A and B are shown apart, each in its own frame.
Chain A
Amino acid sequence: MSLAEHQGTAELDETRANAGVASRGLTVRTNQILELVTAAIGIESSAVSILLADRDGGTLHERASSNQAVRAIAQFELQYEEGPCVEACRTGLAVHAGLLHDADARWPHFAPYARDVGVRSVSALPMRVETEVIGALSLFSAEPEPRSPEEQQLTQAFADIAAIGILQERALQEGHAVLTQLQAALESRIVIEQAKGIIAQGAKISVDDAFTLLRAYARNHNCRLRQTACDVIDGTLSTDALTSPRRARNVSAPAITPARKARRG
C-alpha cells in the first residue's frame, strides 16, 4: 500500500471510529452524561434523570436515570404531567427550585411526593437544539440549597451536549432507513432488467415489449413487479405463461431449456 493510501486509510479509520462511537447507541451516551453531570456537580446526594420526547416531539418518556429512585420520580411526573422536567420540556426554560417552600402551589402532586422520597431541590434543563426542545435533563437533590449559577450553567451545557448526541443518533438511524430503501429500489431494477432480457429472448421480442408483458402479468395477478421478475429468473414463471395471459400460473408449461431452473439472479 502506498503512503497516500495509508494516509487515506488512517483518516477513514478515524472517521469510522467516530461513527462507531456514535452508533453504539443512545444508552451509552446518556449514561455517560449522567455520570459526567453527577461527577461535575460533585454532590453525592444528587441523582440525574434524562427525559426524551419522541421523534415527532410528542410523548415524553424517561430515557435514562442514575438510579431506580429517580427513575420513579421521573415516571411520576410523566404520569401526572406535572413537575420540573415536564415544565422544562414544555416551556423550553430552565427550572431551578427548592421543594420545601412554595412548591406545592406550582406542583400540587409532584412536590409532596418528591419530598416524601427525600428530594429537596430540583433543577431541570431543557435539551434544546436551535428551536426544538427534545427533552430535559434533571437533577434531583437531597440538599435544599439551589444550584449555584456556575452549576446551573454547567448542567445546561451537559444538556446541550446530550441533545446534539441524540439528534446525531437519530440522523444516523434515519439515514440507514433511507439507504435500505434506496438499495431495495436499485436491486429491484436489476432483477427487472434481467427478467426483461430473459423474456425478450424467449418470446423473440424487444426488451421494451418484454417489459410491457411483465408489467401486465404483475398487474393482472396482483403481484409486485419485482416478485414477478424474480419468478421469471428462477424459472417459476415461464415466458409462455407471460405471453398467454389467460393460462393460470403453475400450470405446467414446457420450460424453454432444462437449465432454466438452475438460473439464479
Chain B
Amino acid sequence: MVRKIEPERFAQIAAAHDEWHSNPARVLCVACVEVLGVAGAGLALMSGGRSLDLIGVSDAATESVEQIEFMLDEGPCVGAYRTKSPVFDANLADDGTARWPEFRRGAAAVGVRAAFGFPLLFDRICIGALNLFHDQPGALTDDQVADALVVAQFASRSVVSWQADAPPGTIAWQLEQAPSRPVEVYQATGRISVQAGVSLDDALVLLRAYAFSHDLPIKDVIVDVAAGRLELA
C-alpha cells in the first residue's frame, strides 16, 4: 500500500523553515528533498514550449544542472512539461539513449546520477516542472513517486496563489528569489544574432556548437558572450 504525505503536513514542514518568508520557492525544494530523501530538487516555470523562469533550487549542484535545463531546454523537466507526464531517468550515465547531451554532461560534472521530472499542473494546463535529482543511479520508490505528486500539486497551487497576490503586470516576488536568474542566455543569443547575422533560434545552436567544440561549460560561454567578452563570429 503506497503511503503519501498529506499536503497539510508538507505545508507544515515548509512553513517551519526560517526562509519560508523570504524565499518560499527554495523552501519548497528543500522540504521536498527532506521528505523524499533525494539529493536535490528544483522548480521551473515554462510556457509556450520553453523555459521561462527557474524559481527555486535546493542547493548549488542542483542549480548548475537546472541552469543547463533552463538555458538549453533539454532534460527531464522539459520532457515532463512537454508531455504533461512524469519523465524519469534512473541512470543518466548509461540509459541506452543519446538524449539530453548537454544536460547529462552537466549532471555528470556535479555528480547527479539520476533525474526525475514531474509536471506542475493547474486544471488541465502545465505551467512548469518539479525536478528531482539523485547522486546514485536507481528508480524512485512508489512512496517517493506518490510524495512527489503531492509536492508538485502543492507547488502549482503556491505559484498561482503567490502570483494572485502580486500587483498587476508584475511578477510575484516569491518567483524572483532564485540566486541567479539565467537571463544571460537571452542576452547572449541577442548578441550572437547580430554577430553572425542569424535568427535568435540559430544563435542558440551556434552557442551550443561553440561550447561543445571547445569543450567549455555552456554556462561559461553564455555568461562571456552576454558580457561582450566573447564573440562567436
Chain A residues with CB under 8 Å of chain B are 2, 4-5, 7-9, 11-12, 15-16, 19-20, 22-23, 172, 174-176, 178-179, 181-183, 185-187, 189-190, 193-202, 206-207, 233, 256-260, 262-265
B85 within 8 A of A: yes
Sample of 8 further A-B pairs with CB below 8 A, known A23-B123, A182-B163: A2-B90, A4-B140, A9-B85, A16-B84, A197-B194, A206-B227, A207-B228, A259-B198
The residue that A201 contacts in the complex, of B86, B175, B186, B190, with Cβ under 8 A, is B190
Name which of B15-23, B32-40, B165-173 contacts chain A. B165-173
In the complex, residue of chain B having the shortest beta-carbon distance to the beta carbon of A176: B123
Q: Please state if B164 and A174 are interface contacts (CB–CB under 8 Å).
A: yes
Q: Is the CB of A4 within 8 A of B124?
A: no
Residues of B within 8 A of A12 (CB): 84-86, 119, 121, 149
Expressed in whole angstroms, the minimum distance between the Cβ of B137 and any Cβ of chain A is 13
CB <8 Å contact, A197 and B186: yes
4 nearest interchain CB pairs?
Answer: A197-B190, A193-B186, A259-B197, A8-B86
B139–A15 touching, CB < 8 Å: no
What chain A residues lie within 8 Å of B87 (beta carbons)? 5
Residues of B within 8 A of A175 (CB): 122-123, 160, 164
A-B contact pairs, 17 of them (CB 8 A): A4-B142, A5-B88, A8-B118, A12-B86, A175-B122, A181-B168, A182-B159, A189-B171, A190-B186, A197-B191, A200-B190, A200-B191, A201-B194, A201-B228, A263-B193, A263-B199, A264-B200
B127 interface contact, C-beta 8 A: yes
| Residue interface bits B140-154, CB-to-A below 8 A is 1, else 0 | 111001101100010
Q: Which residues of B contact A190 (CB under 8 A)?
A: 52, 186
B180 at the interface (CB under 8 A from A): no
Distance A96 CA – B189 CA, assembled complex (angstroms):
70
CA distance A206 to B145 in the complex (A): 46
Please tell me if B187 contacts chain A, counting CB pairs below 8 Å: yes
Interface majority SS (helix, strand, loop, mixed), chain A: helix
Say whether A197 contacts B226, CB under 8 Å.
Answer: yes
Cα of A23 to Cα of B122 in the assembled complex, Å: 11
With known contacts A5-B88, A179-B125, A186–B194 Cβ distance under 8 A? no
Q: Chain B residue with minimal CB distance to A171? A: B160
Q: Which residues from A are CB-within-8-Å of B2?
A: 7
**Cα–Cα, bound, A206→B140 (Å):** 46
B48 within 8 A of A: yes
- List of B residues within 8 angstroms of A187 by Cβ: 47-48, 52
Chain B, Cβ-Cβ closest to A258: B197
In the complex, chain A residues whose CB is within 8 Å of the CB of B227: 206-207
- Whether B191 lies near A198 (C-beta < 8 A) is yes
A178 x B163 contact (CB < 8 A): yes
Query: Nearest Cβ in chain A — how far from B37, in angstroms?
Result: 15
Chain A residue numbers with a CB within 8 Å of B190 are: 193-201, 233
Q: Cβ of B188 < 8 Å from any Cβ of A?
A: yes
Q: How far is the CB of A209 from chain B (nearest CB, A)?
A: 11
A205, B86: Cα distance in complex, Å? 44
- B47 adjacent to A172 (CB under 8 Å): no
Contact with A along B105-123 (1 / 0, CB 8 A): 0000000000000110111
Please tell me if B45 contacts chain A, counting CB pairs below 8 Å: yes
Please give, as numbers and ranges, the residues of chain A lying within 8 Å of B84 by CB-CB distance. 12, 16
Whether B63 is near chain A, meaning CB under 8 Å from some CB there, is: no
Given A7-B142, A185-B169, A187-B47: A179 touches B127 (CB 8 Å cut-off) = yes
State the CA gap A8–B151 with chains docked (Å): 13
Considering only residues 189-213 of chain B, those with a C-beta below 8 Å from chain A are 189-195, 197-201
